[in-house]
Amino acid sequence: MDMAKLAEEHGLERVGGRPSLPEYIKQLITRSDFTYTLAKYRMQSENERNRLGMLWVLLRPAFSALIYGTVFGYIMKGATARPDDFAPFVIIGVFVLEFFNTSMNGGAKSIISNASLVQSLPFPRIVLPIATVFQNLLNFIPTFIFMALLVMLWGARPSWDWFLFIPLVILFWIFNQGVAFIFARATVHFRDLSQVTPFISRMIFYTSGVFFDLKVMVEKINPALQPFADWQPLNNVLSIARGILMKDGVIPYDYFWHLAIWAFGIFIIGFVFFWQAEERFGRDE
């Protein structure tokens, strides 16, 4: 008798075998406590390595906004079309995109940097990119509060519209998680991609309207490309955030459903893409 058939008759399963998608989701749900604890532990561990600890979560985007604002707002003032209220414009762009960059880069390394864990313990490997992005979400919450306080220095005032940040952050979280799934699997099969990922995220950073109004820029280059600006997911996030926070900002409500389509589409594609390679992760390490 074939050994595989004999094992199946006695209820034995192949070690590291990929479960069905419903079973995989069930396993993930049962390990939700482990996912949360892993994200919380990593956040505490990273903060304990630095003397200023959690304060660096705020200082990193603040220093970036200061540097980019100085370079693009003053040194290169004549070379760029500076938007109105440039300081809060850049602050929102840099602080919000920090969540995307850390999720994308962290997700890309979530499997390859945990090789011993992947090879020694049985659990849904998708827990690792989920914990990474959730850790970044926990870091983003105090960052968002600090960002709002900074923008208030330029005349922004709290209003009921600020509650729109709840669905915005949820959609942005879902989108970032889907991106992390895709890069987590891709870097396992193409290990050198982890070296290229920071450059990819930087290119996205510079082309998503952090320092300029993407719609205005596209209108100048080629008006026929306007749908690109309207459907660019990161521009959707930044435009909504600026509309909510900035003084005299206009909220593009239609961007919410643009972002929702992107978020759930990328999340589902990324989840299935990752699950299909579940049984290969420990072997490819």
Residue 201: predicted pLDDT: 82
Pairwise CA distance, residues 13 & 11, whole Å: 7
From residue 191, how far is each of 104, 108, 201 by CA, in Å? Answer: 15, 10, 17
Indicate whether 207 pLDDT > 60.
yes
Residues 6+ apart with CB under 8 A from 82: 72, 73, 212
Pairwise CA distance, residues 245 & 133, whole Å: 24
Task: Classify residue 145 as exposed, middle or buried by CB count within 10 Å of its CB (0-12, 13-18, 19+).
Answer: exposed
Query: Average of pLDDT values for 212-227?
Result: 80
DSSP 8-state symbol, 150: H
Task: Check: CB of residue 75 under 8 Å from CB of residue 145.
Answer: no
Residue 81: predicted pLDDT: 58
Task: Classify residue 231 as exposed, middle or buried by CB count within 10 Å of its CB (0-12, 13-18, 19+).
Answer: middle
pLDDT digits (tens, 9 = 90+) for 26-57: 888 888 888 888 887 777 776 666 655 566 66
Residue 272: predicted pLDDT: 94
Indicate whether 199 pLDDT > 60.
yes
pLDDT-derived band of residue 271, with 50, 70 and 90 as boundaries? very high
Threshold 0.95, pTM exceeds: no
pLDDT digits (tens, 9 = 90+) for 74-96: 655 554 556 778 888 988 988 89
Sign of CA dihedral 243, 244, 248, 250: positive
Query: Average of pLDDT values for 116-140?
Result: 85
Query: Average of pLDDT values for 4-8?
Result: 48
Pairwise CA distance, residues 52 & 122, whole Å: 36
Instruction: Give the pair of three-digit tokens for residue 119.
Output: 């090879």
Task: Check: CB of residue 275 under 8 Å from CB of residue 21.
Answer: yes
Among 61-75, 97-111, 263-277, the range with the most confident prediction by mean pLDDT is 263-277
Neighbours of 56 (CB within 10 A): 17
